[in-house]
């Protein structure tokens, strides 16, 4: 018998990196479901504009996911203004790609680790004790299909997303029986600024941020851990796990998946790469070698 979907109306959700892209689309989907939403973002002005556009009592708060005190303060403010957090979506992330691993500068790699890895860790470590006290809650970690494979030109990025998948798997096991659900979201390339200038694969087309948001909503209503977007990717992932390595690599080449992060249009990615690098407050204007990967 199919499970009855849970009602999300009135639930309090906090979404990191939600001023734009997948985070914004997710917040918007939550508002449609009647949830009360807080969006956190390093770009406080844009977050505020986004909250006003979404309506539904959405609030915006400045958040630096690389700073655990900032994450703690964000959740404290959410609870003070909206109530206990029922859902945390660890969405904030950056992707700087287009170079082989040995040519990637250390500042670029470190920044992806700070945001993509520590941003998730700090969110989990700060929200789970609050949820455990109530015996309920749902943690949603946004990873990537790149967390299930390694793609040339994006070694560090793939590594950070592998971390999110592995940590989410362990967290799910640690929380079994606690009343707290865990979901790991693994989309293919999403049509946002982050994906500008990337190659298309032959087998799987880019999805829209709204597609990811809809799957997150579905995973909250009927809880599940593996959230592939599109869902067809789960079957592909399952097959790839049982195919010998040479076969997997041949399939990847045939689908041009091995070119998605390696053969990028640097001119189309320039604005995104620059903004991603500027997410580090320690970088100064004009510090080009540390701002751009290409």
**What CATH number should be reported for the domain holding residue 206?**
3.40.50.720
**Residue 160 to residue 87: CA distance in whole angstroms:** 22
Q: Is residue 2 part of a domain?
A: no
Strand pairing partners for 87? Answer: 13, 138
Q: Are 126 and 120 in contact (CB under 8 A)?
A: no
Q: Is 186 in a helix, a strand, or coil?
A: strand
Instruction: Look at residue 287 in the predicted model and tell me its pLDDT.
Output: 39
| Domain count along the chain | 1
Please list the ranges in the chain whose pLDDT falls under 50. 281-294
Q: Are 194 and 20 in contact (CB under 8 A)?
A: no
Instruction: Look at residue 281 in the predicted model and tell me its pLDDT.
Output: 47
Q: Is residue 145 part of a domain?
A: yes
Rg of the chain (C-alpha set):
18
Q: What's the chain's length in residues?
A: 294
**Residue 228 to residue 235: CA distance in whole angstroms:** 10
Taking Cα atoms as reference points, which of 112, 106, 105 lies closest to residue 65? Answer: 112
Assigned token pair, 35: 């949830």
Q: Is residue 93 part of a domain?
A: yes
H-helix segments, the chain: 21-32, 44-54, 68-81, 106-112, 119-134, 155-174, 209-221, 232-242, 245-254, 266-278, 288-291
Q: Is residue 76 part of a domain?
A: yes
Instruction: Look at residue 231 in the predicted model and tell me its pLDDT.
Output: 82
Contacts of 45 (CB under 8 A, 6+ apart): none
Instruction: Look at residue 3 in the predicted model and tell me its pLDDT.
Output: 79
Instruction: Look at residue 196 in the predicted model and tell me its pLDDT.
Output: 62
In eight-state DSSP terms, residue 41 is: E
Q: Are 46 and 55 in contact (CB under 8 A)?
A: no
Assigned token pair, 289: 């070698």
Q: Is residue 5 part of a domain?
A: no
Q: Is residue 4 part of a domain?
A: no
Give residue for tokens 């993509």: 116
Q: Which domain holds residue 144?
A: 12-291
**Residue 238 to residue 232: CA distance in whole angstroms:** 10
Q: Is residue 140 part of a domain?
A: yes
Q: Would you name the residues annotated as active-site residues?
A: 157
**pLDDT tens, residue by residue, 256-286:** 666 566 566 676 667 777 767 666 544 433 3
Give residue for tokens 């790609």: 97
Q: Is residue 91 part of a domain?
A: yes
Instruction: Look at residue 36 in the predicted model and tell me its pLDDT.
Output: 98
């Amino acid at each position: 018998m199919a499970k009855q979907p849970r009602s999300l109306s009135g639930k309090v959700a906090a979404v990191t990196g939600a001023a734009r892209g997948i985070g914004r689309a997710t917040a918007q989907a939550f508002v449609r479901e009647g949830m009360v939403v807080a969006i956190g973002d390093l770009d406080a002005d844009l977050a505020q504009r986004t909250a006003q556009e979404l309506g539904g009592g959405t609030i915006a708060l400045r958040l630096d996911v690389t700073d655990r005190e900032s994450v703690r303060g964000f959740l404290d403010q959410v609870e003070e203004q909206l109530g206990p957090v029922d859902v945390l979506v660890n969405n904030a992330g950056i992707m700087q790609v287009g170079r082989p691993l040995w040519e990637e500068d250390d500042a670029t790699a470190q920044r992806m680790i700070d945001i993509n890895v520590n941003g998730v860790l700090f969110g989990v470590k700060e929200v789970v004790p609050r949820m455990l006290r109530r015996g309920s809650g749902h943690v949603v970690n946004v990873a990537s299909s790149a967390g299930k494979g390694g793609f040339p030109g994006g070694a560090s990025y793939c590594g950070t997303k592998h971390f999110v998948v592995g940590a989410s798997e362990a967290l799910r096991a640690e929380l079994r029986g606690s009343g707290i659900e865990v979901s790991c979201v693994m989309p293919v390339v999403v049509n946002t600024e982050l994906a500008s200038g990337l190659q298309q694969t032959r087998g799987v087309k880019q999805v829209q941020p709204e597609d990811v948001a809809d799957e997150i909503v579905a995973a909250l209503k009927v809880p599940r851990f593996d959230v592939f977007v599109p869902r067809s990717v789960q079957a592909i992932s399952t097959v790839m796990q049982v195919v010998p390595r040479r076969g997997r690599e041949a399939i990847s080449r045939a689908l041009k998946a091995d070119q998605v992060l390696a053969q990028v249009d640097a001119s189309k990615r320039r604005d995104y790469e620059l903004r991603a690098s500027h997410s580090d407050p320690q970088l100064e204007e004009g510090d080009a070698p540390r701002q751009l990967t290409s």
